[in-house]
A and B are shown apart, each in its own frame.
Chain A
């Protein structure tokens, strides 16, 4: 555990070999008007690692991952993703980078005018520019089978339950085989059983596709199942870092409050 107690000090990430670190964030700050959402965010995400970001709602957890994909631009700091500085990228470079990053939205964000099959074909034909229909069908069926929803291939999103939508959203993200996965509260709005299934699916998919992941959540069960490492965010900064077991023993009130709910 890197920090504990009432002080909000967190150590700078230890320098790693360039090839091992897929995301390097240093001193990231972002404000909306007068409200400083991110103040000083520092972290390294290593290849193959699952990093969970815990924090209260409205603390800027999602803003961090939106900065990673270039949806938002940090006001200060350096954000390097797969060796490239996101702030210095042009439109085309950003597009190329986004092809290597999967982003699972809280709602699943399925295209509601398209069937599940068309949703999954969309990134293959528009992003990877695949034209061979047999190859496309094979990939769609393979990834849908992976999330256990092959039967729903011709259904519309409106015919799916919340958990199924999340699964399809995950399948659509994974179909392009991204190197990095960003999950924005993947279990929000789901019942405990489905939440657990989604968390296990995230872990399974991470192992299958060898992705590095950042999982934004305040679901402790999801954090316990998926996290290699957990960082806790408060007031625009990361205040503690460690494994689930390490943070369980933290004497920081804020960190304890998350774990107390589950014990």
Chain B
């Protein structure tokens, strides 16, 4: 029993050590020269453009549902006019970034994990390495940079679509013009709402890319390991998103709200 626990802890510590080494190798390769621009653009397209529909639909529904859920409580309190502001602040600060990141963890981290895992199984990564090319620069650096750039952009787009969903939901029961609704939304926003949210989505994006690449790059050689890499990438990336969110909210509170 104790032996199993020790083995478990040792494996966990080894995993952390491996991730640190992988991070150091990633960091070193950023400055190794010869950034793969074409692959970076391709990844931005794959990660960003191809996830836009999913993020858009999810955000739209979230905006719509939030208004439907919030309305009765705010009407009871006589604060129905606060609906646009409540939705905007909660969506921009928290719900939009986290929902987008979780969707991206499910779609992007798993896809990167499975793709690199399958490249590992079929010896494509080994082939790059023994040819004298740099697989880390081509496969890992580009993907992590692409997720770090595209997740914030997707989050911003998701926020806008979510607020639009809220506008439509509000118009089911009440009547509010589009310009008045968006004026209320924008006027309720502050720099301290927007900036920390964007910054944390950069970290969410980095975590999604890093975890996906790490899990895929370090998968074992076997078809089963591709599935394990994809699954493990989603679980770990989702967990990291909440950890980063918890840290980000503390830092934001200290910097902006005190």
Instruction: Report the Cα distance A106→B134, complex, angstroms.
Output: 21
Is the CB–CB distance between A95 and B132 below 8 Å?
yes
Is the CB–CB distance between A109 and B132 below 8 Å?
no
Nearest residue (CB) in A for B129 is A71
Nearest residue (CB) in B for A97 is B132
Is the CB–CB distance between B124 and A110 below 8 Å?
yes
Q: B124 — which chain A residues lie within 8 A by C-beta?
A: 109-112
Residue of B34, B115, B122, B130 near A103 (CB, 8 A) is: B130
Is the CB–CB distance between A109 and B123 below 8 Å?
yes
Is the CB–CB distance between B130 and A101 below 8 Å?
yes
| Size of B's binding interface in residues, CB under 8 A | 16
Q: B134 — which chain A residues lie within 8 A by C-beta?
A: 126
Main secondary structure on A side of the interface with B: loop
Instruction: Report the Cα distance A97→B125, complex, angstroms.
Output: 18
- Looking at B34, B115, B129, B138, the one whose CB has the most chain A CB atoms below 10 A away is B129
Is the CB–CB distance between B131 and A103 below 8 Å?
yes
Known: A71-B130, A107-B123. 9 other contacts (CB 8 A): A71-B129, A109-B127, A112-B122, A112-B124, A123-B131, A127-B132, A127-B133, A173-B131, A176-B131
Is the CB–CB distance between B127 and A105 below 8 Å?
yes
A85 interface residue (CB < 8 Å to B): no
Instruction: Report the Cα distance A126→B132, complex, angstroms.
Output: 8
Is the CB–CB distance between B127 and A96 below 8 Å?
no
Instruction: Report the Cα distance A69→B128, complex, angstroms.
Output: 12
Residues of A within 8 A of B (CB): 69, 71, 95-96, 98-99, 101, 103, 105-107, 109-113, 122-123, 126-127, 173, 176
Q: List 12 A-B contacts (CB under 8 A).
A: A71-B129, A103-B131, A109-B122, A109-B126, A110-B124, A111-B119, A111-B127, A112-B119, A112-B124, A126-B138, A127-B132, A176-B132
Is the CB–CB distance between A98 and B130 below 8 Å?
yes
Is the CB–CB distance between B130 and A69 below 8 Å?
yes
A98 touching B127 in the complex, CB below 8 Å, given contacts A107-B122, A126-B138: no
The 5 A-B pairs at the shortest CB distance, nearest first, are namely: A109-B127, A98-B132, A109-B123, A99-B132, A126-B133
**Min distance, Cβ B79 to any Cβ of chain A, angstroms:** 53
Is the CB–CB distance between A98 and B126 below 8 Å?
no
Is the CB–CB distance between A123 and B123 below 8 Å?
no
**Min distance, Cβ B50 to any Cβ of chain A, angstroms:** 14
Is the CB–CB distance between B138 and A105 below 8 Å?
no
Q: B115 — which chain A residues lie within 8 A by C-beta?
A: 113
Is the CB–CB distance between B131 and A105 below 8 Å?
no
Nearest residue (CB) in A for B115 is A113
Q: B122 — which chain A residues lie within 8 A by C-beta?
A: 107, 109, 112
**Min distance, Cβ A72 to any Cβ of chain B, angstroms:** 11
**Min distance, Cβ B104 to any Cβ of chain A, angstroms:** 20
